[in-house]
Chain A
């Protein structure tokens, strides 16, 4: 099964590169618009060998990690708070919904004005892009916890913080994961957006440099790296978390 899956995937990617090469050979579009696979490949190789891509990746991932950790911690706290106190939810619920609907990139100007060309600015965009999605998902996850599980927890002596940490959070874990997943997607968009627009270093700023130097192969090679990181994070982190949930809750969830 797994071998077959991998084979299908390889066939697909080889096919894409073949079509791409064909477009190049037949001069369907000029090279300045779509460069050859070879030229993008060598831009990738150059980026790796001179360290710029690796350093850029590390910088972006570091900003992502810091931002995401803050967003998850703060988002969960907000989500738990409004789930436990209905009055708080009535007050800030609609505001959170509105804030969640703002695309990460829309925070970039404010981040630039507040923090300037700093890591703090990029991290601000990352945090604010992900926080509300995490908070909303935490809230709905907690609201969806079966009342009988909470009753069972109380019945066995859990109350206050212990009821939250030992019953409510683990019970809403399947929901929390979708919140983290959404949060990560928004956070990653936030990092790259901020970097493209104002940051020094990072993958986004590499693309910015490529654009200024009219080096389209470099731009595309960075795009490929951003995409690969997306696939890796999903496969290494979220697929695993989902597997853990499935191994406990059962395949039905």
Chain B
């Protein structure tokens, strides 16, 4: 069953008063339970595309369908894990995880049960009464993931959530995220500029072309899980993507020269 459908998404940016075409008709179909990575050079508009799916940004034309229904505003059925975490500093870890549940008007006891479950899943139980500044960057992203999952979204959106992490922490979270995906059977769209990351996580990797942006190619990664960062068998997939992106980088250079 198709979970999410992006149809011909077009978006212009304003650059010193001139409209610049950023997304030039993006089409993407995501099946229920799929794990899709969007990879591309920085500034190619993949985060903008994710924001449009989240309803935080509006396309100039085109439409997003979730379970066949048109999406036009943000909603807890498409929770996002932001690059910088975007946790609320005035709330304890546990209250951060419960935020969306509270907004939804779910009674306190039920909220506690749900948040305990996800804090436990992300190994955060010890930190539930901490404030976010007391956590490392890796811990913050765990909280952000727990917070997004607690709302039991139709689809989980992740915007370069591991970009600021040191490599050991990232490798650990890459494995954990795969286990969580298998356990929760969530549909995930994961944006990254890190090719290795996209190959480890994605069932499919959609390669974004540089501005004006389109999906240049989709690669299916049919390989057993959990995949580890050091697995050499993943290199050939990485290589394929690098080849695709290389021409992009060269083109980008030509444009800027």
Mark A residues whose CB is within 8 Å of B. 146, 148-149, 151-159, 162, 166-167, 170-171, 173, 247-250, 252
* CA A171 to CA B88, docked complex, whole Å: 7
Choose one: A158, A171, A248, A252; the contact of B103 (CB below 8 Å): A158
Do A155 and B54 touch across chains, with their CB atoms under 8 A apart?
yes
Q: Is the CB of B250 closer than 8 A to any CB of chain A?
A: no
* CA A154 to CA B82, docked complex, whole Å: 13
* CA A211 to CA B76, docked complex, whole Å: 66
Choose one: A152, A171, A173, A250; the contact of B134 (CB below 8 Å): A250
Convert B60-93 into 0s and 1s, putting 1 for each residue whose CB lies closer than 8 angstroms to a CB of A.
0000000000000111101110101011111100
Distance in angstroms from A151 CB to nearest chain B CB is 5
Q: Which of chain A's residues have a CB closer than 8 A to the CB of B56?
A: 151, 154-155
With most chain B CB atoms within 10 A of its CB, the pick from A146, A152, A159, A167 is A152
Q: Is the CB of B127 closer than 8 A to any CB of chain A?
A: no
Do B103 and A156 touch across chains, with their CB atoms under 8 A apart?
yes
Q: Is the CB of B255 closer than 8 A to any CB of chain A?
A: no
Do A148 and B84 touch across chains, with their CB atoms under 8 A apart?
yes
Q: Is the CB of B147 closer than 8 A to any CB of chain A?
A: yes
Do B88 and A170 touch across chains, with their CB atoms under 8 A apart?
yes
Residue of B nearest to A149 (CB): B86
Do A252 and B133 touch across chains, with their CB atoms under 8 A apart?
yes
Residue of A nearest to B157 (CB): A155
Distance in angstroms from A55 CB to nearest chain B CB is 40
* CA A154 to CA B86, docked complex, whole Å: 12
Q: Which of chain A's residues have a CB closer than 8 A to the CB of B82?
A: 148, 151-152
Q: Which of chain A's residues have a CB closer than 8 A to the CB of B104?
A: 157
19 residue pairs A–B, Cβ–Cβ below 8 Å: A148-B86, A151-B56, A151-B74, A151-B82, A152-B82, A152-B87, A152-B88, A155-B56, A155-B76, A155-B78, A156-B99, A157-B100, A159-B74, A162-B103, A173-B90, A248-B90, A248-B133, A250-B131, A250-B134
* CA A192 to CA B84, docked complex, whole Å: 48
CB-CB nearest 8 A-B residue pairs: A250-B133, A156-B100, A152-B86, A157-B76, A148-B86, A154-B74, A170-B90, A157-B103
Mark B residues whose CB is within 8 Å of A. 51, 54-56, 73-76, 78-80, 82, 84, 86-91, 99-100, 102-104, 131, 133-134, 147, 151
Distance in angstroms from B200 CB to nearest chain A CB is 25
Distance in angstroms from B101 CB to nearest chain A CB is 9
Residue of B nearest to A251 (CB): B133
Distance in angstroms from B64 CB to nearest chain A CB is 15
Do B89 and A248 touch across chains, with their CB atoms under 8 A apart?
yes
Choose one: B54, B74, B103; the contact of A166 (CB below 8 Å): B103
* CA A149 to CA B86, docked complex, whole Å: 5
Choose one: B90, B133, B134, B151; the contact of A156 (CB below 8 Å): B151
Distance in angstroms from B197 CB to nearest chain A CB is 21
Distance in angstroms from B74 CB to nearest chain A CB is 4
Do A248 and B131 touch across chains, with their CB atoms under 8 A apart?
yes
* CA A153 to CA B88, docked complex, whole Å: 9
Do A249 and B90 touch across chains, with their CB atoms under 8 A apart?
yes
Distance in angstroms from A148 CB to nearest chain B CB is 4
Do A249 and B133 touch across chains, with their CB atoms under 8 A apart?
yes
Distance in angstroms from A240 CB to nearest chain B CB is 16
Distance in angstroms from B25 CB to nearest chain A CB is 25
Distance in angstroms from A162 CB to nearest chain B CB is 6
* CA A146 to CA B55, docked complex, whole Å: 18
Distance in angstroms from B151 CB to nearest chain A CB is 6
* CA A138 to CA B128, docked complex, whole Å: 31
Residue of B nearest to A249 (CB): B89
Q: Which of chain B's residues have a CB closer than 8 A to the CB of A156?
A: 76, 79, 99-100, 103, 147, 151
